[in-house]
């Protein structure tokens, strides 16, 4: 297997894009990434997307996007793994290049969630859960996360308001990211007074649905100097799975999918949690941040909040989280989020983020994309090239 690098980045702002359709967003991001890499063709394109069929009446995105990007005849394939679709597409590209099958592969994660009214997207997002045993019983994704958070508060006897430190940090960082959806700070008081969505999850625990597209260009290390974009190494891009239905899990508060994914990623990279300089966490809901920190080996079980307080999760902290706003502050265009996370990690390693959110220790980054409450988890570890 060859070593692999990212040499091109492209993204659209995360917004309600009323004036741009799905293909516009995808092609804009992909062409920007190709321009950054200095390439005018690719060997293949991996598309990460969950809901184009349900919300834009468009499946078959692989060939659509290569066609619209002017890549006539190039292989384009869509991969779907719920909210993990973006990093799943990156994994597909990384493996295609690592194996020597292809030399330069484009990844584009794209989602357009605001095309129809919110009810449609909530229903569509619930297809990431178990249709026969969860969603048909009325359980949607806020509901599933609310049950998990309830259990967490009960088991570990913590104060619900302590979770505020995650979204407060995410918003603080999003202020400086020009592509973020919410460029304003929030306070602990605002969190405590925020509108309840599904007890105990309030509005400020919840990442917003949004539209956006994000793209990276993956190439072999041995060729990376041929490209215009400053390269960053991918040390690992590994997947772990778990049951979809949360009630089938031995311990619903332990994300086995996360554990499996990070174990492989640490093994492949030869690293451990203490080597990670900052972490692009899948903060779709505050509870997911806590559970991910624990199953990823950063915090002990039930101690994520204590860990966050002690270690520090802001830009100057011991483990900066959501450095460009995370899903909470940047926005969560489902199938694109995993690619945004990796782009933001690469920008940190390239030192091209705005100074106020540049993390001081930036040799090794970890990004983790989670599909369906932990059923598909892809952990990517990236390394600066000196």
Q: How far is the CB of 382 from its own copies (least distance, A)?
A: 20
Q: Taking the chain, what is the end-to-end CA distance rounded to the nearest angstrom?
A: 22
Taking CB under 8 A as the criterion, which residues in 252-291 touch its own copies?
Answer: 256-257, 260
Using CB under 8 A, which of 20, 58, 223, 226 touches its own copies?
Answer: 58
92 versus 218: smaller Cβ distance to its own copies: 92
Taking CB under 8 A as the criterion, which residues in 84-123 touch its own copies?
Answer: 88, 92, 95-96, 98-101, 123
Do residues 48 and 109 lie in contact, with contact meaning Cβ atoms separated by under 8 Å? Answer: yes
Distance of CA 268 to the CA centre of its chain: 20
In angstroms, the CA 173 to CA 180 distance is 9
Do residues 347 and 356 lie in contact, with contact meaning Cβ atoms separated by under 8 Å? Answer: no
What is the per-residue binding string for its own copies in 229-248, x denoting contact by CB under 8 A? ----------xxxxxx---x
190 versus 223: smaller Cβ distance to its own copies: 223
- DSSP letter string over 322-342? STT-HHHHH-B-HHHHHHHHH
65 versus 359: smaller Cβ distance to its own copies: 65
250 binding its own copies? (CB under 8 A): no
Nearest alpha carbon to residue 242 among 373, 331, 356? 373
Nearest alpha carbon to residue 340 among 33, 101, 78? 33
Taking CB under 8 A as the criterion, which residues in 337-376 touch its own copies?
Answer: 371-372, 375-376
95 versus 188: smaller Cβ distance to its own copies: 95
Residue 159 tokens, joined: 């104060």
Taking CB under 8 A as the criterion, which residues in 151-210 touch its own copies?
Answer: none
Q: How far is the CB of 135 from its own copies (least distance, A)?
A: 6
50 versus 142: smaller Cβ distance to its own copies: 50
In angstroms, the CA 195 to CA 255 distance is 28
Q: Known catalytic residues?
A: 83, 332
137 binding its own copies? (CB under 8 A): no
9 versus 126: smaller Cβ distance to its own copies: 126
Phi, psi of 86, rounded to the nearest 5 degrees: -65, -50
Q: How far is the CB of 97 from its own copies (least distance, A)?
A: 10
Q: How many CB atoms lie within 10 A of CB 133?
A: 14
In angstroms, the CA 273 to CA 16 distance is 36
Q: How far is the CB of 177 from its own copies (least distance, A)?
A: 29
Q: Could you say which DSSP state residue 83 is in?
A: B
**Nearest 5 degrees, angle CA 137-CA 196-CA 132?**
10
* Site size for its own copies (CB under 8 A): 63
How large is the C-alpha radius of gyration of the chain? 19
Using CB under 8 A, which of 36, 130, 314, 344 touches its own copies?
Answer: 130
The residues that touch its own copies, with contacts defined as CB under 8 A, are 1, 21, 23, 50-54, 56-64, 66-67, 72-82, 88, 92, 95-96, 98-101, 123-124, 126-132, 135-136, 239-244, 248, 256-257, 260, 371-372, 375-376
């Amino acid at each position: 297997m060859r070593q692999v690098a990212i040499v091109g980045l492209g993204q659209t702002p995360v917004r309600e894009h009323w004036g741009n359709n799905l293909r516009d967003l995808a092609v804009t991001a992909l062409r920007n990434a190709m321009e950054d890499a200095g390439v005018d063709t690719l060997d293949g394109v991996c598309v990460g997307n969950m809901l184009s069929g349900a919300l834009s009446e468009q499946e078959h995105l692989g060939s659509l996007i290569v066609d619209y990007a002017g890549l006539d005849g190039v292989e384009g394939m869509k991969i779907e793994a719920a909210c993990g679709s973006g990093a799943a597409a990156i994994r597909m590209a990384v493996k295609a290049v690592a194996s020597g099958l292809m030399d330069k592969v484009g990844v584009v994660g794209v989602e357009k969630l605001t095309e129809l009214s919110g009810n449609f997207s909530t229903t569509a997002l619930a297809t990431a859960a178990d249709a026969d045993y969860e969603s048909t019983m009325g359980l949607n994704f806020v509901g599933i996360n609310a049950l998990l958070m309830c259990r967490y508060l009960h088991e570990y006897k913590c104060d619900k308001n302590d979770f505020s430190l995650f979204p407060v940090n995410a918003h603080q960082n999003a202020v400086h990211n020009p592509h973020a959806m919410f460029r304003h700070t929030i306070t602990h008081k605002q969190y405590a007074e925020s509108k309840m969505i599904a007890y105990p999850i309030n509005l400020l625990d919840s990442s917003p649905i949004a539209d956006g597209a994000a793209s990276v260009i993956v190439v072999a290390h041995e060729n990376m100097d041929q490209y215009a974009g400053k390269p960053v190494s991918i040390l690992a891009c590994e997947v772990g799975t778990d049951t979809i239905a949360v009630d089938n899990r031995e311990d619903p508060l332990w994300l086995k999918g996360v554990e499996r994914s990070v174990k492989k990623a640490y093994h492949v990279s030869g690293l451990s949690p203490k080597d990670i300089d900052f972490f692009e966490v899948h903060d779709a809901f505050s509870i997911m941040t806590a559970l991910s920190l624990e199953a990823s080996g950063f915090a002990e079980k039930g101690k994520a909040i204590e860990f966050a307080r002690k270690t520090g999760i802001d830009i100057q902290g011991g483990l900066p989280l959501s450095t460009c706003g995370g899903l909470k502050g940047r926005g969560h265009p489902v199938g694109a989020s995993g690619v945004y996370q990796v782009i933001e990690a690469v920008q940190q390693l390239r030192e091209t983020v705005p100074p106020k959110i540049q993390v001081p220790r930036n040799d090794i980054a970890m990004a983790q994309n989670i599909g369906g409450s932990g059923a598909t988890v892809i952990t990517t570890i990236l390394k600066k090239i000196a």
